[in-house]
Amino acid sequence: MENLFNLNGKIALVTGGSRGIGAMIAEGFVRNGVKTYISSRKSDPCDKKARELSKYGECISIPADLTDMNEMDKLVTKIKDKETKLNILVNNAGAAWGASFDDFPEIGWDKVMDTNVKSVFFLTQKLVDILETSASTSDPSRIINIGSIDGLGIPRAETYSYPASKAAVHQLTKVLANRLANRNINVNAIAPGPFESNMMAHTLEEYGEQIRSSVPRGRIGVPEDMAGASIFLSSKASSYITGSIIPVDGGSLIARRHME
């Protein structure tokens, strides 16, 4: 029982790991003994975050734009060149686009769907062999997809492709969980509520107090909240959980449903 949440010696890849929710997860892993690779589209912030997190453990930067299949292939090749196993894959890289219904552009649809859905499937497909290598019945490998409560409820903002993409991530999580269970790979999703991140920065600046007051727990998420959920889903404690969508939102989803 004392080792239920022990991750020491595991190896993880966190996409979108240079900032926001990805950085929260990566820091939780590194501080708990996980050799953690982080990837993001911009190399300088990715390298900087890896240096920062390396104060607490082992963190390696491999920048890549996951909407570009050639860059995705390079990321996969670098991981496989460096490691013979991968215990944890966190598909966190994401994008959002806001525009009114009448003016919403095709690029705002395609960019969000390519980043949030397409890249999740194909990166998982390309890494499944190395995930399977390190997996067993008693200690499965883990895939954690980062969805959103906007994929479970109706968002207030006009971000049409974003909630559609996150709903797709949730359904893809269930499909992959069913498909990969016999390969000893657990697939779950976290559906975050409001957290401080670049994606949420403008919204929190404009509506921060309103958002905080609408969350039953009375605050927005902090890094420990996201790290804790990710550590749980990566540890022995969750080895019998797959295909689940776990809201980490302070109760904001149930409050939103009640208001609707």
User: Is 175's pLDDT higher than 90?
Assistant: yes
- For the chain, domains (ranges, CATH) are 11-259 (3.40.50.720)
159 in Cβ contact with 97 (< 8 Å): yes
For 32-74, how does the pLDDT look when each residue is reduced to its tens digit (9 = 90+)?
Answer: 999 999 999 999 999 999 999 999 999 999 999 999 999 999 9
Band of residue 206 on the pLDDT scale cut at 50, 70, 90: low
179 backbone φψ class: left, alpha, beta (φ>0; ψ -120 to 50)? alpha
Rounded Cα distance between 35 and 86, Å, is 10
Rounded Cα distance between 14 and 260, Å, is 35
Label residue 197 exposed, middle or buried (CB < 10 Å: 0-12, 13-18, 19+).
buried
Label residue 16 exposed, middle or buried (CB < 10 Å: 0-12, 13-18, 19+).
buried
Band of residue 199 on the pLDDT scale cut at 50, 70, 90: low
**The pLDDT of residue 207:** 63
User: Is 93's pLDDT higher than 80?
Assistant: yes
**The pLDDT of residue 82:** 97
* Distances, alpha carbon 100 to alpha carbons 17, 96, 104, 109, 240, in Å: 30, 13, 6, 13, 43
Provide CB contacts within 8 A for 220, sequence distance 6+: 193, 194, 195, 196, 204, 208, 211, 212, 250
User: Is 259's pLDDT higher than 60?
Assistant: no
Note if 162 is an active site residue: yes
What integer best gives the mean pLDDT of the chain?
Answer: 93
- What's the mean pLDDT in 89-112? 95
Catalytic residue, chosen from 37, 56, 162, 240, is: 162
User: Is 255's pLDDT higher than 90?
Assistant: no
Structure tokens of 53?
Answer: 């997190």
User: Is 90's pLDDT higher than 80?
Assistant: yes
Rounded Cα distance between 39 and 92, Å, is 10
Band of residue 196 on the pLDDT scale cut at 50, 70, 90: confident
Query: Which of 204-213, 230-239, 249-258 has the highest average model confidence (pLDDT)?
Result: 230-239
What single-letter DSSP state applies at residue 237?
G
User: Is 218's pLDDT higher than 90?
Assistant: no
Label residue 213 exposed, middle or buried (CB < 10 Å: 0-12, 13-18, 19+).
exposed
**The pLDDT of residue 254:** 84
Rounded Cα distance between 17 and 38, Å, is 5
